[in-house]
Structure 1
Amino acid sequence: MSTRRHSLSRLRPVSLSARLLAGTLIATFIASASPAAAQAASLEPRVKKLESEMKAVQRKVFPGASDRFFEPEISAPTAAPNTTGVSASAPITDLLQRVDTLENQITRLTAQTEENGFKLGQLEKRLTLIEEKAAAAAAAAVAPAPTGTTGAPGAGVGAPPARVTPAAGAATTGAAAAAPSAERVAAVSAIEKPQTADAGEDAYLYGYRLWEAKFLPEAQAQLRFALDKHPKHKRSSYTRNLLGRAYLDDGKPSAAAKMFAENYEKEPKGDRAPESLYYLGDALIKLNEKPKACIAFAELAEVYPDVAAGRLSDRLAAGRRSAGCK
């Protein structure tokens, strides 16, 4: 009996010490866990807000909500099963993992947006190229082809309809036009061809004389020949402008507008660039494109103020009235 009591007296102090130590450890754990729990609680609303905004961005970028492109929901990684009954990771660690997930999703969306922007730019370039080719094809369709490319020996001047006989046909802009009469051929042949040492000047002047004599198809063919044969000649600005006027006088405002615009764009400092802007506006009025005509007139006044206030002032004012420019 005394031996049993002695054993119990030895066990009781040990049990009490263990209980005190356990209590101390629990208090320490609770004290150390409280700041982490408080920090997690403060971060939780912010993370939830980020996650909801991320979902909204995903729905905006990928409205189909297809799993092929993104995960439909952003969620924290699932913790491994824990059989001990204690959380495998602290709350702050879970929040940091969720923030990492958000950052990864944002990186993916940013890369996708940049890739889409690049592809859109490539499509726009292709569309511009297609439009330019279509415009060039339209211009080629309405422009008359020269009926002759040989000139008098040493003259450097093309041989448009002056060399054409009724059997060979005539320069035309329609699908099927009648051959010129003998009288017209004789009248065109009577137009004197200049023959000097400057073949480019001769080609332009001959086209001018044909235009002045109202032989418009013949003038168009000759001026086109002059441009093709002497594209860098000092008279190139004159030639394009006059070719546009020949189209305009011949009732072809669309072809005229293209030629006037080409002259201004290719040689903005050319001698007839201001006139081409004015006649471009005139052609656009005839095409019932009055707002665009006002743009051409405004460009003339802005780029060439001296000419707009000088030799073209009266015609510019009349053109603006016709177009209803404000």
Structure 2
Amino acid sequence: MKSVLLSTLGASISVSLLVAAPASAQNANVDKRVDRLEQEMRAVQRKVFPGGSSRFFEPDIAPDTATPTTPSTTSSAVSDLIARVDALERSLASLTNQVERNDFRIKQIEDKMAADAVPPVSTDPATVSTAPSTGSDPGDQQNAASAPDPERVSGVASIIMPDTGNAGEDAYIYGYRLWEAKYYPEAQAQLKKAAEDHPNHRRASFAKNLLGRAYLDDGKPALASVALYENYQELPRGERAPDSLYFLSTALVQLDKKADACRVLAELQDVYPNAASGRLRERVESGNAAADCS
């Protein structure tokens, strides 16, 4: 199941490796050049400082004290060494700049692929304006949102949040009561808030699962599939993780993705065999029938 819904991960890793490969090869090349430069510096040091000095590299062999050193040879060797060190520093600076550009390109590619994997959606209930449009265009006034239904406002206000002292429990129960009363947009907002405000509470799994169901009941199977899969992925040991897989299969059937729905139901039976053969047995059977699973 995870391989189906997270198929972009492998592509992202592959792109990252392709972009980063030139930098790795250049690093190895620079390492070789540094080693060669250090050997050449030792050789020059033996010519320039035949007596040895604690400020420079130890000579590999004892200096030949019988060989005189001329000022012209010393000056030429030092000048050549300085020039090569300057060239190496420029090369390293260029490589560092290229690696930083590659890292930035990789981050951009990964962000784009993550955004393309699941289209951004808003789970907050639609808001409406009670004030008339101030624009002079009559078309703007026609498209302005109508005032909320007073009966609905009164109905939502009649749903009271419990106050038991257990904030996570109270937040979930309030969302459940809104869903039970069929105030689906308001229930969606409350259940999402309950899960975000109390991520470590036992009811977080319940809230995320019921959020998906509220989207399903509101005729939004795409949003439901996202919410239900996230509950299974983020809280696999939560009490409603198996239920989320079942309702995810229902959302996929509504999206005309029956093959994926069958894979989800198979995942449910494989990961949660006790729930699949116990309290969810009838739902699993009806789900397999709805998705035409063989």
Give the TM-score of the pair, scaled to structure 1.
0.51
Residue 229, structure 1, aligned to residue 197, structure 2:
yes
Which of the two has higher C-alpha Rg? 1
Change (3 A) 1:261 1:165: same
Instruction: Provide the C-alpha distance between the structure 2 equivalents of 1:125 and 1:325, rounded to a whole number of angstroms.
Output: 40
Q: Does structure 2 conserve the Cα–Cα contact (< 8 Å) formed by 1:146 and 1:222?
A: no
User: 1:57-86: CA deviations, max 9, x gaps?
Assistant: xxxxxxxxxxxxxxxxxxxxxxxxxxxxxx
Cα RMSD (Å) of the superposition? 2.8
**2:61 corresponds to:** none
Aligned with residue 294 of structure 1, among 262, 266, 273: 262
Matched residue of 2:239: which SS?
Answer: coil
Aligned with residue 130 of structure 1, among 65, 87, 112: 112
Shift, 1:281, TM fit: 0.4
Q: Does structure 2 conserve the Cα–Cα contact (< 8 Å) formed by 1:166 and 1:181?
A: no
Q: Runs of 5+ in structure 2 lacking a partner?
A: 1-104, 133-142
Residue 263, structure 1, aligned to residue 231, structure 2:
yes
Aligned with residue 208 of structure 1, among 172, 176, 179: 176
Task: Give the counterpart letter for 1:143 in structure 2.
Answer: T
**1:249 corresponds to:** 217
Matched residue of 1:193: which SS?
Answer: coil
Change (3 A) 1:292 1:224: same
Change (3 A) 1:229 1:265: same
Instruction: Provide the C-alpha distance between the structure 1 equivalents of 2:117 and 2:245, rounded to a whole number of angstroms.
Output: 19
Instruction: Provide the C-alpha distance between the structure 2 equivalents of 1:271 and 1:167, rounded to a whole number of angstroms.
Output: 44
Matched residue of 1:269: which SS?
Answer: coil
Matches within 5 A, 1:1-326: 129-135=111-117, 138-139=119-120, 141-144=121-124, 166=130, 178-326=146-294
Q: Does structure 1 conserve the Cα–Cα contact (< 8 Å) formed by 2:246 and 2:284?
A: yes
Instruction: Provide the C-alpha distance between the structure 2 equivalents of 1:203 and 1:238, rounded to a whole number of angstroms.
Output: 11
Which one scores higher on RCO, CA 8 angstroms, separation ≥ 6?
Answer: 2
**2:140 corresponds to:** none
Shift, 1:233, TM fit: 1.8
**2:75 corresponds to:** none
User: 1:151-174: CA deviations, max 9, x gaps?
Assistant: xxxxxxxxxxxxx99459xxxxxx
Shift, 1:249, TM fit: 0.4
Matched residue of 2:163: which SS?
Answer: coil
Q: List, as ranges, runs of 4+ consecutive aligned residues in structure 1 with deviation greater than 6 Å.
A: 123-126
Instruction: Provide the C-alpha distance between the structure 2 equivalents of 1:210 and 1:240, rounded to a whole number of angstroms.
Output: 15
Matched residue of 2:201: which SS?
Answer: coil
Percent identical pairs in the alignment equals 50
Give the TM-score of the pair, scaled to structure 2.
0.56
Task: Give the counterpart letter for 1:144 in structure 2.
Answer: D
Task: Give the counterpart letter for 2:169 in structure 1.
Answer: E
Aligned residues: 181
**1:45 corresponds to:** none
Task: Give the counterpart letter for 1:258 in structure 2.
Answer: V
